[in-house]
Chains A and B, each alone.
Chain A
């Protein structure tokens, strides 16, 4: 395997324009002869599929959701970044680029990030034209707010439901294409394997989740926009059905997996209440604009009513440690600081595993109506879950797994190491390095889908020859048999433990050993524990029901089986990366004040892992990262 990032030459400002010009075009009359298979209908998948359909390609969209509108992107709350500089506070393409590279702790590819910043403004234009009801000022123009990791206000938002509104915009464009007949939608359909013919991605094998039918689909290119793998931790802020199945199975067919250990823990989530917990709920980090994070200075105060703790006895530790950014430091820093506070025994709440996020001062300064307008729905959500009123009592928050920066390796064209397999959105690794800044995932998903992939996929189609393959080809037969065999093997499981039960055990291993703080001994142990759990899964899982029917136990078991394999690579990557950077904090590598210590000499590269076959150690390939425009420096938010 050879990694060729295909970064265009020339100054960073001109790369994309030049590349677009040099990319071959498909003759308009020929577009309808090409079929593109898009897996996933989140922001990345829906925007790509709609745009490709508009261009005249034949598109098929597969999603396990019952409607494309329900993809996980719908849950994004806080907002989407763009360097429009509407507030006139000094933003620019360059600043957004700089902030993203720095926020990612210098582990992202400059050229991709620059393009993202360049195209960010177009995304907002596009969404507004679709009728996305972004927040506005009294003059009728768009409003902005600030978000972690930036000192300018560049975040566009639609109340606390930005993801919902952006996704509905993309979904509506997709529905328009479905009506026009360019796009066929396959809801309740799960991708289970990729078909590679003569080195090109030529098809997918799916399972109809209602009838259980396993089907072959032939195309000229395949797009995976299947989201992140945060649910490998079992508890995360991701939707219940988010999974690693699509990217993992493509990895086993030859797509390199990059930086799997770069996972993001979000600082502001509602704390765990008990063993029944099925997911964690995020409280948008926009709350940190007006909420102040604190813990009691004295351990003995931790179970007191917070209202009775005088100002002088409170430790606003983010404001104290990071006076320049205060409560708006990037996520990894805020999360680790909360963990430290709780590890020191100063955490609040019955479990001692939470910190306060307090709005009293803002409510006093701005009045409750202003706070309600900004965060009303988040406050309601908090109260619904915890039965506590955050207007009167500080919220309690704790970090939770939220986002995965790692993903399938892609080049500048967003193509994986398998020709014809494109990977968009959270599923790829490309833009966020070791840590993603708030409000940048929505931007990336839509940038990939609306403005990058439609060009680069065209370039691939125009510059490659395609053999007259049918879905009777041996590669299709082999892949279908593999899927069928996998389903049958799971259904023959007559052990004692359910897939969900295994998933919880896996999550616990990862959270303890590969969560906010990691070390070599713990990771080595985790790798052994995961292998043992996987062996037990093979022997002892129980999956009731049949294959030819809607069978949610079977769906869960398939996903957990993949998580159990993938988790080992995640830990292996974390073990090999013997430095701290962004969301990857190795306890062995920190400054005296507990800040992450990078090792640029040894680790300024993307770790892209090649699958070497079952039971064999994966092969590490390195893509060296050059920082020609943003100079390598220690991140400081002080």
Chain B
């Protein structure tokens, strides 16, 4: 067992979307480097609750980096300092003992704050509703092997389909753009023959909805790719732009 650490968590507290928020410092001692960042928040919350104080509200569920529920801007970076790692997979060994760690919610117009560190990401659901699917009814599918898909395409589609919808890309972008999120879904479905029939309509509708939700335009700085816990490549944005052009040209 390695020695324990002391850290100070500087956490954004905000009662709801109508009130003003502020940072509050919480010093914690005896933190194990083996424990995850969210477990550190659990420990803090347990202490707060035992004193009858409101715990820090934050989202998490799977705690294994796949559901996309956890968020958090940690010391200035969405999901904290480790590359390809969600907040729930981050461990205290990534921090120095004695450090002050700033913890904030995602900041974006299209993601209003609900409470403390929780934001409302339902805009993503509405973007998918606008066209992020294949229109196939239950029961109407042909045999799965009737349509071969070249392995390379299937792999590339999977690279895009891995998006967990956490919103880090939006949080990292100066313009709070959702291009990487939308591009991942557009590319996943455009790369597979199953998605071809609705290809043009899909990209046009999803982009329109994205704009309507108040996400900004792409900065071309790739800040999104740098923080994406699944390593989704900005090449998919280029692919989406081509899809969009193509839809316009042949529309």
A550 at the interface (CB under 8 A from B): yes
With contacts defined as CB atoms under 8 Å apart, how many contacts are there between chain A and chain B in the complex?
A: 237
- Identify B42's interface contact among A51, A187, A276, A550, CB under 8 A: A276
Cβ A125 vs Cβ B194 within 8 A: no
A-contacting 9-mer, from B102-110, B149-157, B242-250: B149-157
A15 to B125, CA, bound (A): 40
A240 to B69, CA, bound (A): 11
A500 to B46, CA, bound (A): 7
B25 at the interface (CB under 8 A from A): no
Cβ B61 vs Cβ A131 within 8 A: no
B87 at the interface (CB under 8 A from A): no
CB distance from A452 to the nearest CB of B (A): 11
- Identify A454's interface contact among B34, B138, B143, CB under 8 A: B138
With A67-B125, A133-B158, A172-B134 already in contact, the answer to whether A552 and B68 are too (CB < 8 A) is no
B21-76 interface with A by 8 A CB criterion: 32, 34-36, 38-40, 42-43, 45-46, 48-50, 52-55, 57, 59-69
A58-86 interface with B by 8 A CB criterion: 65-72, 74-75, 84, 86
B115 at the interface (CB under 8 A from A): yes
Cβ B68 vs Cβ A54 within 8 A: no
Cβ A125 vs Cβ B134 within 8 A: no
Write out the residue numbers on chain A whose beta carbons fall within 8 Å of the beta carbon of B3: none
A47 to B50, CA, bound (A): 41
A364 at the interface (CB under 8 A from B): no
Cβ B121 vs Cβ A66 within 8 A: yes
Cβ A239 vs Cβ B61 within 8 A: yes
Cβ B133 vs Cβ A172 within 8 A: yes
Cβ A381 vs Cβ B64 within 8 A: yes
With A501-B46, A542-B52 already in contact, the answer to whether A278 and B133 are too (CB < 8 A) is no
A544 to B63, CA, bound (A): 25
With A129-B142, A133-B188, A450-B138 already in contact, the answer to whether A273 and B34 are too (CB < 8 A) is yes
A282-329 interface with B by 8 A CB criterion: 282
Interface size class of B (residues with CB under 8 A): 35 or more
With A84-B144, A124-B144, A381-B65 already in contact, the answer to whether A133 and B192 are too (CB < 8 A) is yes
Closest to A129 in B: B141
Closest to B60 in A: A240
Cβ B130 vs Cβ A179 within 8 A: yes
Cβ A176 vs Cβ B133 within 8 A: yes
Cβ A128 vs Cβ B124 within 8 A: no
CB distance from A274 to the nearest CB of B (A): 5
Among A54, A71, A125, A210: residue with most chain B CB under 10 A: A125
Write out the residue numbers on chain A whose beta carbons fall within 8 Å of the beta carbon of B32: 273-274, 276
Cβ B114 vs Cβ A550 within 8 A: yes
- Identify B148's interface contact among A84, A141, A282, A543, CB under 8 A: A141
Write out the residue numbers on chain B whose beta carbons fall within 8 Å of the beta carbon of A498: 46, 49-50
Cβ A544 vs Cβ B49 within 8 A: yes
A387 at the interface (CB under 8 A from B): yes
A91-123 interface with B by 8 A CB criterion: 121-122
A418 to B47, CA, bound (A): 42
- Identify B89's interface contact among A69, A130, A381, A499, CB under 8 A: A381
SS class of chain B's interface: helix, strand, loop or mixed? loop
Cβ A140 vs Cβ B150 within 8 A: yes
B16 at the interface (CB under 8 A from A): yes
Write out the residue numbers on chain A whose beta carbons fall within 8 Å of the beta carbon of B16: 549-550
A126 to B1, CA, bound (A): 49
Write out the residue numbers on chain B whose beta carbons fall within 8 Å of the beta carbon of A47: 138
Among A141, A187, A384, A450: residue with most chain B CB under 10 A: A384
Write out the residue numbers on chain A whose beta carbons fall within 8 Å of the beta carbon of B55: 544-545, 552-553
CB distance from A133 to the nearest CB of B (A): 4
Cβ A131 vs Cβ B62 within 8 A: no
B223 at the interface (CB under 8 A from A): no
A164 at the interface (CB under 8 A from B): yes
Cβ B36 vs Cβ A136 within 8 A: no
A178 to B120, CA, bound (A): 18
- Identify A385's interface contact among B91, B154, B157, CB under 8 A: B91
A127 to B124, CA, bound (A): 22
Cβ B162 vs Cβ A161 within 8 A: yes
Among B34, B42, B62, B150: residue with most chain A CB under 10 A: B62
Cβ A187 vs Cβ B148 within 8 A: no
- Identify B128's interface contact among A126, A158, A175, A384, CB under 8 A: A175
Cβ A131 vs Cβ B195 within 8 A: yes
Cβ A278 vs Cβ B136 within 8 A: no
A282 to B62, CA, bound (A): 11
- Identify A494's interface contact among B52, B115, B143, CB under 8 A: B52
Closest to A52 in B: B138
Closest to A380 in B: B84
B202-248 interface with A by 8 A CB criterion: none
With A140-B150, A172-B132 already in contact, the answer to whether A278 and B38 are too (CB < 8 A) is yes
Write out the residue numbers on chain A whose beta carbons fall within 8 Å of the beta carbon of B125: 67-69, 175, 178, 185, 187
- Identify B69's interface contact among A68, A70, A168, A273, CB under 8 A: A70
A-B contact pairs, 18 of them (CB 8 A): A67-B122, A129-B142, A130-B136, A131-B157, A131-B188, A133-B154, A133-B188, A134-B144, A142-B145, A172-B133, A210-B115, A239-B63, A240-B62, A274-B32, A277-B39, A387-B93, A500-B49, A552-B57
Counting from the closest, the 7 A-B pairs by CB-CB distance are A140-B148, A129-B141, A172-B133, A125-B141, A276-B35, A128-B144, A51-B138
Q: Kindly list 14 other residue pairs between chains A and B, CB separation below 8 angstroms, not including A122-B141, A133-B188, A164-B162.
A: A122-B139, A125-B141, A128-B194, A129-B141, A133-B154, A140-B154, A159-B158, A277-B35, A381-B65, A384-B65, A500-B42, A542-B52, A550-B115, A553-B49
User: Residues of B at under 8 Å CB distance from A?
Assistant: 1, 15-16, 32, 34-36, 38-40, 42-43, 45-46, 48-50, 52-55, 57, 59-69, 82, 84-85, 89, 91, 93, 114-115, 118, 120-122, 124-125, 128-130, 132-145, 147-151, 154, 157-158, 161-162, 164-165, 188-189, 192, 194-195
